[in-house]
Every structure is written in structure tokens, then in C-alpha cells.
């Protein structure tokens, strides 16, 4: 309030307080002052004023907090009462099928059942075994549990399928795609074919497939080397060799045709 007064009047203020360590508080407005003289004011906490408003607001907040706190306690106690359940007889004592639980005999048997201690019956939330609670056993509360009905729905067409994916695709008239070859696999196969042909060791596609798969195993066992090589079947290798042979034959014919055209131009 004093700072706002100094900004409105554009004059310096000096506050005299009732505190021993801070007796005066000088206040300077933000803008240029209109007068070199200061206005002296004295404040204390006696009588009515803004101090009473502070006290009332504190009392109001305190009462509200108490109401909220009491409401939260009641809710937590209610939740604890609902969640409380027993698990009597779920341990090793369950091996004795004839032994009863959730009851006690004065001087002979003492039970730790929380439901029995609070003189309440065992509810459907309890997982006790052979319940014999005198206030109400678990079997008496069968009406509290909601029996879930089995959901009847039609099975999907693929749930009862007893075929492999390839057989199912062929049955539907779909032609499965051939496995693709990446660039590194093509390079390895071509290098292997060139090596076998050069040494006269190339016989048929079966030996080529075996040699290729052995080479893939050797390369994949090398640490810190990831060339993405995969084994291939004999059929896949035959298809690749057929495709490579066709491309080589086409390239040979184009080469012969280009050579004939070059000879014709020179003549």
C-alpha cells in the first residue's frame, strides 16, 4: 500500500515502524519525484486495519483445511474397511483339507483373522480356505459375487485353420512372392560362381547351393561383421541362376549387335 501511494503521489516516503531492528523504511517511487521533501508516515499493528483481515482469512482457511482433512480421513477409512479381507489357510496349512480356519477357541486356538477380530463376516473379497467364521462364512456370501457369463461369439475364419501359411495362400489362389536378394548376396553368389567356374568345380545347382550356404555360415560367424547374408534353398538359387543366365545372354546379344554396327560404320 505504501509503495502504491509513493508511485501515485510521486514523492519519497519514510515509514516509521514499531520494529526494533528496522525502525525506518525509505520508499522511492518508480518515476521522477515532484518534490524533494519526503512524507513521513508511522505504522503499527494496533487497532483495526488490514491486520484484522489477515487474521480472518487465516482462520477461514484453517477451518476449510480441517473440513477437507476430515473428509479425506473419512474416505480413507471407508476404503480401508472395504479393502480389508482375510487370506486364512492359504499357506502350508492348506495341505490339511479337513482343517477349519477363521475361528478361534478360547484357551486353545487363537486366530489372526482380521474379519474375526472385528467381529465381521468374511466377504466375497476374502480368499480364505475352509472358512468357519461364526459371524458369517465366505460360502454364505455367494449372492454378493457377480457370476460372469461366458461370452458367446463366433470364431474367426482363421482360428480353426490347421494349415501352414503357404498352404493357405495356395488355397486362396495367391502366389507367394519369391525371397528377394540384396546386393551383398548377389555379389557373393556371383563371386562364388566365378570361382567355381574358373577352377572347374562347378557341377550343378545343388553343389552351388551347399557351397553358398556354407559360405554364409562362415561369414555370419565373423564378429563385428554384419553383411545381412541369409541362406537360400535350391529352388531360389536355381531361379537366380536362370535370371542371371538370361541377363548374360541378353548382354551378349547386345554386344554382338553393337559390334556389327560399329564394323558397318567403318566400312
Reported as a single tens digit per residue, the pLDDT across 54-97 is 444 444 444 555 555 556 556 555 555 555 678 888 776 667 77
Q: Are 135 and 111 in contact (CB under 8 A)?
A: no
Which is more confident, 75 or 206?
A: 206
| pLDDT class of 41 with cuts at 50, 70, 90 | confident
Whole-angstrom distance, CA of residue 39 vs CA of residue 203: 114
| pLDDT class of 254 with cuts at 50, 70, 90 | very high
Using DSSP's 3-state secondary structure scheme, residue 124 falls into coil
pLDDT digits (tens, 9 = 90+) for 108-158: 777 888 888 888 888 888 888 888 888 888 775 544 444 445 667 777 777
Q: Is pLDDT above 70 for 53?
A: no
Whole-angstrom distance, CA of residue 231 vs CA of residue 186: 12
Whole-angstrom distance, CA of residue 146 vs CA of residue 161: 35
Whole-angstrom distance, CA of residue 220 vs CA of residue 216: 6
Which is more confident, 58 or 261?
A: 261
Which is more confident, 143 or 213?
A: 213
Would you state the pLDDT for residue 59? 44
| pLDDT class of 9 with cuts at 50, 70, 90 | confident
Whole-angstrom distance, CA of residue 140 vs CA of residue 144: 9
- Is the torsion defined by CA of 101, 107, 112, 115 positive or negative? positive
Would you state the pLDDT for residue 149? 57
| pLDDT class of 44 with cuts at 50, 70, 90 | low
Question: Which range scores top for mean pLDDT: 49-63, 88-102, 171-185, 243-257?
Answer: 243-257
| pLDDT class of 258 with cuts at 50, 70, 90 | very high
Q: Is pLDDT above 70 for 176?
A: yes
Average pLDDT value over all residues in the chain? 76
Amino acid at each position: 500500500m505504501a509503495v502504491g501511494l509513493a508511485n501515485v503521489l510521486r514523492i519519497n516516503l519514510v515509514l516509521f515502524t514499531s520494529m526494533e531492528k528496522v525502525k525506518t523504511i525509505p520508499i522511492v517511487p518508480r518515476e521522477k519525484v515532484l518534490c524533494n521533501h519526503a512524507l513521513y508516515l508511522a505504522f503499527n499493528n494496533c487497532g483495526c486495519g488490514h491486520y484484522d483481515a489477515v487474521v480472518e482469512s487465516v482462520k477461514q482457511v484453517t477451518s476449510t483445511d480441517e473440513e477437507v482433512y476430515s473428509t479425506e480421513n473419512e474416505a480413507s477409512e471407508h476404503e480401508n474397511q472395504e479393502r480389508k479381507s482375510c487370506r486364512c489357510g492359504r499357506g502350508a496349512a492348506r495341505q490339511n483339507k479337513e482343517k477349519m480356519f477363521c475361528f478361534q477357541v478360547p484357551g486353545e486356538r487363537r486366530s489372526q483373522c482380521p474379519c474375526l477380530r472385528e467381529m465381521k463376516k468374511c466377504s466375497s473379497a476374502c480368499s480364505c480356505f475352509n472358512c468357519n467364521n461364526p459371524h458369517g462364512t465366505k460360502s454364505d456370501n455367494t449372492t454378493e459375487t457377480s457370476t460372469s457369463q461366458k461370452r458367446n461369439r463366433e470364431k474367426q475364419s482363421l482360428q480353426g485353420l490347421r494349415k501352414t501359411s503357404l498352404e493357405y495362400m495356395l488355397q486362396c489362389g495367391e502366389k507367394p512372392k519369391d525371397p528377394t536378394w540384396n546386393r551383398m548376396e548377389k555379389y557373393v553368389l556371383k563371386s562364388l560362381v566365378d570361382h567355381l567356374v574358373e577352377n572347374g568345380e562347378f557341377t550343378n545347382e545343388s553343389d552351388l547351393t551347399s557351397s553358398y550356404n556354407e559360405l554364409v555360415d562362415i561369414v555370419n560367424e565373423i564378429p563385428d561383421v554384419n553383411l545381412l547374408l541369409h541362406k537360400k534353398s535350391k529352388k531360389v538359387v536355381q531361379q537366380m541362376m536362370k535370371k542371371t543366365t538370361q541377363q548374360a545372354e541378353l548382354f551378349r546379344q547386345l554386344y554382338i549387335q553393337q559390334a556389327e554396327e560399329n564394323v558397318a560404320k567403318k566400312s
